[in-house]
C-alpha cells in the first residue's frame, strides 16, 4: 500500500478511536439527526385535518350527510362534536381552528328546497389552516349536493389522480427527513473532525508531512462519514419500522443515504478547512441546512414553489438526497432529474470539496 493510503487508513482508524473515547460527544452527534427527524415529523401531523368543533343543532339524516361531506372534504377537518359554548371557548383560546354549527331545522330546510345556513367561526391566526378551512367548506357543500343529487348544480369537478394512491404527509415528510438526517450528520461530523486538526495544532505538522495534509484529512472524513451513515441508518430504520414506511427500492435507499452522507461530510470538511474552528460548525450546518431542507422538496416537489427556490435548492445536498429517498421509499418522482443523475450529483459533491480541501489546507 502506498504511503498516501497508509496515512489515510491510519487517520481514519485514529478518528474512530477518538469517537470511541468520547462516547457522550459521539452519542449527541448520533442523536442530532434522529432528534431532527422526529421533530420535523411534528410539522406533518398538523399539515391537514384541522381540529374543528362540530356543533349539531339536530341529528337528522341530512345533517349527518353534511357532516359526512365535511369528513370527506379532502382531509380538511378533524371534527370534534361538542356543545356550542365549549366549542366557542376552545376556538377563542386557539385550541381549535374552527367551529361549524349546523342549525336546528337544517334537514327540513333542505327538504323544502330552501337554503340552510351553517355558521362557521374561524380562528384566522394561521393563514395556511384558515384558507384550508375556507376552501374546504364549499368543497363539502359540493360533495353534499352530489350525494343528495340536488338539482341545479351545473358544473362538477372531475378529479383525476396521476398516481394510483396518495402518499400521506407523515410518510412523505418522514422520508425526506432521512435525507436531512444524512445531511446534518455528515456536515456536522465532517466539519468538526477537520476543524479540530487546526484547533489542536495538528494541521501545521500535517502540512510538512511527506504526503501532505490531504490523506489525513480524507481519512478523518472517511471515519466521520462512517459515523454519519450509522446515524442516518438509525433514522432510516425508525421511518421503516416506526412510521411503517417500507423502502420500495432498498438498494436505492442505501445508495441514497450513503451518497448523501458522503456529499455532506465532504462539504462539512471543506467548511472545517475554511473556518478552522469547531465552535461554529454545528450551528452553521444546522442554520443553513434546515432552511435548505424546507427548500429541497421535503414538503412537496420543489419546482412547485417557483423557479428561484427551485434553483436555490440545488446548492444543498438535501435536494438530491430528498429526490433519491422519496423514490427509494415511496416510488415518487419529486425532481425533474432522474434518480441516477441525483446520485451522480451527490457523488460529485462528495469528490470536488474533498479535492479542494487539500489545496485550501496549504493556505
Partner 1 sequence: MSRIVWAIARSDITRWRRSPALVAATLIPAIGMSLTVLALTYAVGRQPVALVRLSDGPESDEVVKILRESDGFFLSERTAEEAADDLRNQWVCAVITIPENFDEAVATKSANLEVAINNVDLDFSDDIRRSVSEAVVQIDAPELASLGEEAEAGGEKEEEDETADEAGAGEMSSTLVRRANAWFVVPDDGGAEFEAEYISAGNPYLVNVIETDLRSPDISFLAYQMVPVLALLALTAGALVTALSIAGDRESGRLRVIRLTPASRLGIVLGHLAGGTVAATLLLAIVVVPLALTGVLQPPPGRWPVVAAILVATAVGSTGLGVVVGLVTQRLTTTVLLGVNVASASFLLGGGFTTIAFLPPFIQHIAAAVPSYYAVEGLREALFYADMPTLGRNLAVLIATGVLSLLVGAWMLARSRSPLSAM
Query: Which residues inside 13-42 make contact with partner 1, applying CB under 8 A?
Result: 22-25, 28-29, 31-32, 35-36, 39-40, 42
Which of residues 14, 43, 226, 254 is near partner 1 by CB under 8 A?
43
Q: 226 to 245, contacts with partner 1 by CB under 8 A?
A: none
3-class DSSP state of 145: helix
> Residue 114 to residues 4, 70, 169, 240: CA-CA distances in angstroms?
86, 20, 39, 52
Q: Is residue 20 within a helix (H) or strand (E), and if so which, with residue range? A: helix 3-21
Rounded CA Rg of the chain: 27
> Residue 147 to residues 72, 141, 202: CA-CA distances in angstroms?
12, 10, 75
Q: 162 to 181, contacts with partner 1 by CB under 8 A?
A: 162-163, 166-169, 172
Which of residues 79, 82, 86, 142 is near partner 1 by CB under 8 A?
142
State the number of CA atoms in the 13 A half-sphere of 222 facing the CB: 15
Q: Is position 299 an interface residue for partner 1 (rule: CB under 8 A)?
A: yes
Geometric angle at alpha carbon 279, from 275 and 280, rounded to 5°: 60
Select from 8-16, 48-56, 261-269, 349-357 the region that touches partner 1 (CB under 8 A).
48-56
In angstroms, give the least distance from the CB of 212 to partner 1: 26
Q: Is position 277 an interface residue for partner 1 (rule: CB under 8 A)?
A: yes
The DSSP call for residue 168 is P
Q: Is position 114 an interface residue for partner 1 (rule: CB under 8 A)?
A: yes
Which residue's CB is nearer to partner 1, number 104 or number 119? 119
Which of residues 6, 13, 135, 359 is near partner 1 by CB under 8 A?
135
Q: For cell 384550508, what's the residue?
A: 132
Q: Is position 71 an interface residue for partner 1 (rule: CB under 8 A)?
A: no
> Residue 149 to residues 58, 142, 145, 159: CA-CA distances in angstroms?
22, 10, 6, 18
Q: Is position 64 an interface residue for partner 1 (rule: CB under 8 A)?
A: no
Which of residues 242, 244, 250, 291 is near partner 1 by CB under 8 A?
291
Q: Is position 248 an interface residue for partner 1 (rule: CB under 8 A)?
A: no
Which of residues 82, 226, 309, 360 is near partner 1 by CB under 8 A?
309
Q: Is position 201 an interface residue for partner 1 (rule: CB under 8 A)?
A: no
Which of residues 284, 344, 347, 356 is near partner 1 by CB under 8 A?
284
In angstroms, give the least distance from the CB of 320 to partner 1: 15
Select from 215-223, 233-241, 251-259, 288-296 the region that touches partner 1 (CB under 8 A).
288-296
Select from 109-117, 231-239, 254-262, 341-349 the region that touches partner 1 (CB under 8 A).
109-117
Geometric angle at alpha carbon 310, from 306 and 315, rounded to 5°: 155
CB 135 within 8 A of CB 129: no
Which residue's CB is nearer to partner 1, number 188 or number 233? 188
Q: Is position 2 an interface residue for partner 1 (rule: CB under 8 A)?
A: no
Which residue's CB is nearer to partner 1, number 122 or number 349? 122
Select from 9-17, 188-196, 220-228, 345-353 the region that touches partner 1 (CB under 8 A).
188-196
Q: For cell 500500500, what's the residue?
A: 1
Q: Is position 210 an interface residue for partner 1 (rule: CB under 8 A)?
A: no
Handedness of CA 311, 314, 315, 321 (dihedral sign): positive
Burial code of 235-264, b = ≥16 C-beta within 10 A, e = fewer? bbebbbeebebebebeebbebbbbbbbbbb
Which residue's CB is nearer to partner 1, number 156 or number 363? 156
Handedness of CA 79, 83, 86, 91 (dihedral sign): positive
Q: Please state, in angstroms and rounded to a whole number, the distance separating the CA atoms of residues 181 and 265.
A: 12
Q: Is position 68 an interface residue for partner 1 (rule: CB under 8 A)?
A: no
Q: 316 to 335, contacts with partner 1 by CB under 8 A?
A: 332-335
Instruction: Give the cell for residue 71.
Output: 369528513
Amino acid at each position: 500500500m502506498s504511503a498516501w493510503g497508509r496515512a489515510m487508513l491510519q487517520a481514519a482508524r485514529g478518528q474512530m478511536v477518538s469517537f470511541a473515547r468520547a462516547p457522550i460527544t459521539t452519542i449527541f452527534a448520533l442523536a442530532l439527526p434522529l432528534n431532527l427527524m422526529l421533530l420535523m415529523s411534528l410539522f406533518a401531523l398538523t399539515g391537514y385535518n384541522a381540529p374543528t368543533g362540530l356543533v349539531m343543532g339536530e341529528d337528522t339524516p341530512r345533517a349527518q350527510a353534511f357532516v359526512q361531506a365535511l369528513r370527506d372534504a379532502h382531509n380538511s377537518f378533524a371534527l370534534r362534536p361538542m356543545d356550542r359554548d365549549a366549542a366557542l371557548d376552545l376556538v377563542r383560546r386557539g385550541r381549535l381552528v374552527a367551529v361549524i354549527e349546523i342549525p336546528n331545522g337544517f334537514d327540513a330546510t333542505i327538504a323544502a328546497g330552501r337554503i340552510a345556513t351553517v355558521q362557521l367561526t374561524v380562528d384566522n391566526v394561521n393563514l395556511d389552516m384558515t384558507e384550508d378551512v375556507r376552501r374546504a367548506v364549499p368543497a363539502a357543500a359540493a360533495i353534499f349536493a352530489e350525494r343528495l343529487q340536488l338539482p341545479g348544480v351545473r358544473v362538477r369537478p372531475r378529479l383525476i389522480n396521476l398516481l394510483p394512491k396518495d402518499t400521506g404527509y407523515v410518510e412523505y415528510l418522514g422520508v425526506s427527513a432521512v435525507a436531512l438526517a444524512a445531511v446534518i450528520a455528515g456536515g456536522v461530523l465532517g466539519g468538526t473532525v477537520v476543524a479540530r486538526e487546526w484547533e489542536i495544532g495538528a494541521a501545521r505538522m500535517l502540512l510538512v508531512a511527506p504526503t501532505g495534509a490531504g490523506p489525513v484529512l480524507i481519512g478523518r472524513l472517511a471515519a466521520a462519514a462512517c459515523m454519519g451513515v450509522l446515524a442516518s441508518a438509525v433514522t432510516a430504520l425508525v421511518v421503516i419500522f416506526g412510521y411503517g414506511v417500507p423502502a420500495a427500492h432498498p438498494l436505492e435507499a442505501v445508495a441514497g443515504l450513503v451518497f448523501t452522507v458522503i456529499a455532506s461530510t465532504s462539504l462539512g470538511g471543506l467548511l472545517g478547512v475554511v473556518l478552522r474552528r469547531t465552535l461554529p460548525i454545528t450551528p452553521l450546518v444546522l442554520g443553513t441546512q434546515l432552511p435548505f431542507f424546507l427548500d429541497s422538496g421535503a414538503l412537496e416537489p420543489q419546482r412547485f414553489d417557483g423557479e428561484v427556490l427551485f434553483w436555490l435548492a440545488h446548492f444543498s445536498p438535501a435536494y438530491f438526497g430528498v429526490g433519491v429517498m422519496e423514490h427509494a421509499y415511496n416510488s415518487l418522482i419529486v425532481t425533474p432529474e432522474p434518480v441516477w443523475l441525483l446520485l451522480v450529483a451527490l457523488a460529485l459533491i462528495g469528490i470536488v470539496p474533498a479535492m479542494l480541501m487539500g489545496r485550501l489546507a496549504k493556505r
